A and B are shown apart, each in its own frame.
Chain A
Amino acid sequence: SQQGEEDPQALSIQEGENATMNCSYKTSINNLQWYRQNSGRGLVHLILIRSNEREKHSGRLRVTLDTSKKSSSLLITASRAADTASYFCVEAGGTSYGKLTFGQGTILTVHP
């Protein structure tokens, strides 16, 4: 399988705390994307970081990318109960065109 690995598999925090999720990937990527999935809104794109970028911010989200280690991290600051969801690190690379390779995801639970 070309799927990467996310760490931790599950994370439980209190509202207001920060949440950090890590992922390792296996292929040579064009970009790495993070998605969130919950029962209410389905699978939603959060942020895309290109292989020549090292860090990217979007609102309360911060993503880093280390291509030498084939790893990425997602930081959610000041978490809210609405952030409760599964988070996926997704590879897009080579001649993948429309193919996204999903990891198993991190289940984040934010307690009010």
Chain B
Amino acid sequence: KAGVTQTPRYLIKTRGQQVTLSCSPISGHRSVSWYQQTPGQGLQFLFEYFSETQRNKGNFPGRFSGRQFSNSRSEMNVSTLELGDSALYLCASSYGGVLNTEAFFGQGTRLTVV
């Protein structure tokens, strides 16, 4: 069974640009959530999608958005990039959400904003 796949693995962007990250969950998993990891703030929840609907959102500005497709694949977009957006972005998939089961994480996308 293939794991969670995130692309690309590394990205370098310039301030003001926008970026789109992709996540393919484990087959059969319908919940996809996104996290930002930085040395200062640790792992912070961004949002969660289930069957193409956003069910939960963390405390991030509107520049951070996401969506989920009918095949459960998800993308997150960050517009007007700031230096502080440099982080490891992790995607996690679970069957129905983590209230009852564990989450499986991808290897992450390392975003550097210069």
Contact = CB atoms under 8 A, between A and B. Distances in A.
Contacts, number: 77
- Name, among A88, A92, A96, A97, the residue most crowded by chain B CB atoms within 10 Å (CB to CB): A97
A97 B106 CA distance: 19
Contact of A43 (B44, B45, B49, B90): B90
Given A42-B106, A97-B50, A104 B42 contact: yes
B72 interface: no
Given A88-B43, A98-B33, A98-B48, A42 B98 contact: no
29 contacts: A30-B100, A31-B98, A31-B100, A33-B98, A33-B102, A33-B103, A35-B105, A42-B105, A42-B106, A45-B103, A45-B104, A45-B105, A92-B99, A93-B99, A95-B56, A96-B99, A97-B48, A97-B50, A97-B56, A97-B98, A98-B48, A98-B92, A98-B97, A98-B103, A99-B56, A100-B43, A100-B98, A102-B43, A102-B44
Interface of A: 3, 30-31, 33, 35, 42-45, 48, 88, 92-93, 95-105
B55 interface: yes
Contacts of A92: 98-99
Interface of B: 31-33, 35, 42-45, 48-50, 55-56, 58, 90, 92, 94, 97-108
A1 B56 CA distance: 16
Interface centre among A92, A95, A98 (most CB of B within 10 A): A98
Contacts of A45: 102-105
A98 B98 contact: yes
A100 B93 CA distance: 12
Nearest to A42: B107
A35 to B, nearest CB: 8
B32 to A, nearest CB: 7
